[in-house]
A = this chain, B = another copy of it.
Amino acid sequence: MFKDKYVMGTCYYPEHWDRELWDSDIDRMLDCGISVIRIAEFAWNFFEPEEGVYTFDFFDDFLRLCEKKGMKVIMCTPTATPPAWLTGKYPEVLTSDIDGNKYKHGGRRHYNYNSETYRRFCSVITEKLALHYGDHKAVIGWQIDNEFNCELDEFYSEADTRAFRIFLKEKYKTIDELNRAWGTSFWNQTYNDFEEISVPARIPTAHNPHQMLDYHRFISGSVLSFCKLQSDILREHIRPGAFITTNGMFGYIDNHRMTGESLDVYTYDSYPSFAFGLKKESWVPKGLKDRHWSRNLTEVRSICPHFGIMEQQSGANGSVGGMEGPAPRPGQLTLWAMQSVAHGADYISFFRWRTACFGAEMYWHGILDHDNRDNRKISEVKSFHEKLQKINEICGSDFEAELAYLTDYDNEWDTADDIWHKDLNDVSSESIFLFTQKNHIPYDYVFFNDKTGAEDLLRYKYVIYPHPVLMDEKRTEVLYEYVRRGGILIVGAMSGAKDLRGHCVMKPGPGLLSKLTGSDVKESTFVHENDEGMTASDGKRVFDMPLYNEILTVKEGEENALKAAFYDSGYYKGEAALIENSVEKGKVYHLGGVFSEENLKTLSELIGMKSLTEDIAEVPEDIEAVLRSKGEKKYLFLLNYMFEPEFAVLKCEAEDLFTGERVSGRVEMKPFEVRVFKL
């Protein structure tokens, strides 16, 4: 985003404040190291107050001031919130719930991506902005819309139905092919014509899962198309070198493809304090509290290794209508911003400069509070900027990992429509995150797509693909090649159970993958309430086997496969729970269950997977350790999320980049402290 140099920014809303404040606001920002601001993502009315009437005076004035003071600007297309005059006159742009109840003016994302009318209005306003500001000296980049699929990620308007039919026609060509793909002979769902199909509607039972899978792919396609519509217009008119981005990471979007097609850089909005909200029930199933955002940042890194944080938490979360968050503790602002940096952010833009004095988010706190006085948060921002200056040499470095967490959008979205798949995936994905964090085995996400080859996987010693339920020949080949050339692949239950349409395959499990795994699933079951605490063992080690169990055996004729663990109780006591297969230089492990922190520990012993930093430092579980490298140089980030001091032990001498001191041995980590060592 910004070559080899960390940059700090903030989100600013000139339209929320008296003009008299602009001047001092920019001066104060610059004073604490903020050199970039994002503006105008909800400001359509300031550019087109009435249909077809365009005015730029307001933002011209503001940008003139920015240019004068040397403040750089990320300009936004304002399409996330259409004007009242637009939705009032053209109600077809509004989206609906599943019953056709329209969402109205007053919030965000009440439009639908597929409305021809809305796309036309968005094209025009984007072009007008691009033409007017595309060459502006202060404008260094552009954000498209805001947080795609936040608030809503399913859309049921008539325009969506029309677009869905086109999507399906392009995909299936004939209605017969669609009928086959959707298995419409079940419950007499056969269609005679694409015109009989709509987006999912209220029905008395569960939906057709194949239709739903396509629907979720269609949602992603709708977002990508809407994004590209704007990106193409921007690209045509803006200054070369100015970047295009969008922000956030929400449901049913192929962010990897969107970034490839339409963006120069991907940015994320990071709010780890959600972990401390007063309404904790929504958070309870997720472990490690604010440290859990490292999972999200790992996913962001898979989309874009050197990304930006467009909105970095600076104050308490709060929605007037239903969210209460405590203020970040002193040090947490820095901790969370450094968490972003450690995982690959080059740009850190705090949300927001000053807390809004009106509107639904007036308790969503910024750096400054309503009283506009200097406070401990602005001091911390300033100090954070100073720290960034001291570690600029790390900018552009690589994240180190020996383990890849392999997944793909087909399987991710299938969990929305298949509760069995979801149950397994939820437990395994959370467990893998917790186990690897606590044991300092950082991983990269790899999203399997048509371009993914064995060489992408061969960068990793280990690949875990927890539940590749949907599988095809091509992906099987890539995996085979990875293993054949020395990779170690781990898969869990339900692997290979379906094809890409979401049909269960009429093959013994793990379906196509049996070629790699050498395994055969004799039968499977959710763990019965009478079998709680199920385990398996190999004589030396115990694997806990919660939730779901496959009874495995070695596939007939597989000479290199062996039973590596056996169930300890229940009616399948003595049957195999784990199959280990050798494929040329590599190995495949098929665990007949979900992954838990406990069985991952056992499994990692079995396969020799160790802490990445164990030669460098002894790091307690409570500290996150991130290793980055740039050429020969290596950097170690240690992050303390705890409210108490922690201690690590450096096994070699290293330079503390913040203090410049050379240290070794026992190092203290104060509550929320981040230390960065050059090794």
Majority DSSP secondary structure for residues of A touching B: loop
Stretch at the interface among A319-327, A428-436, A478-486: A319-327
Bound-complex Cα distance A215 to B206 (A): 27
Question: Given the interface contacts A83-B190, A85-B196, A186-B361, does A209 sit within 8 Å of B506 by beta carbon?
Answer: no
Instruction: Report Cα–Cα, A198/B523, bound state, in Å.
Output: 52
A43 proximal to B (CB < 8 A): yes
**Cβ-closest chain B residue relative to A41:** B188
**A370 and B99 form a contact (CB under 8 A):** no
> Roughly how many angstroms separate A205 CA and B147 CA in the complex, as a whole number?
13
Copy tally for this chain in the complex stands at 3
Which residues from 72 to 100 on chain A have a C-beta closer than 8 Å to any C-beta of chain B?
Answer: 78, 81-85, 88, 97, 99-100
User: Which residues of B sit under 8 angstroms from A506, Cβ to Cβ?
Assistant: 357, 370-372
Cβ-defined contact, A107 with B320, below 8 A: no
* Bound CA span A372–B511, Å: 13
Is A106 a contact partner of B324 (Cβ separation < 8 A)? no
Are B207 and A107 in touch, CB under 8 angstroms? yes
The interface stretch among A443-451, A527-535, A536-544, A652-660 is A527-535
Q: Which of B45, B521, B525 contacts A327 (CB 8 A)?
A: B525
Known: A16-B186, A186-B361, A188-B81. A507 touches B108 (CB 8 A): no
Given A50-B192, A190-B84, A571-B329, check contact A110 B204 (CB 8 Å). yes
Contact present for B106 and A203 (CB under 8 Å) = yes
- Partner of A106 from B13, B189, B375 at Cβ < 8 Å: B189
Q: Is A526 an interface residue (CB 8 A)?
A: yes
Interface string of A403-428 (1 = CB under 8 A from B): 00000000000000111100100000
* Residue from A44, A101, A109, A322 with most neighbouring chain B CB atoms (10 Å): A101
Nearest CB on B from A83, distance (A) = 6
21 residue pairs of the A-B complex, CB under 8 angstroms, read A49-B192, A50-B192, A78-B188, A88-B196, A103-B201, A103-B202, A104-B198, A104-B201, A105-B201, A106-B187, A106-B189, A107-B206, A109-B205, A187-B360, A278-B423, A319-B419, A320-B417, A320-B419, A326-B527, A329-B528, A375-B523
Further contacts, 7 of them, CB under 8 A, given A109-B205, A182-B358, A358-B504: A105-B203, A187-B359, A209-B359, A320-B417, A327-B526, A362-B503, A375-B522
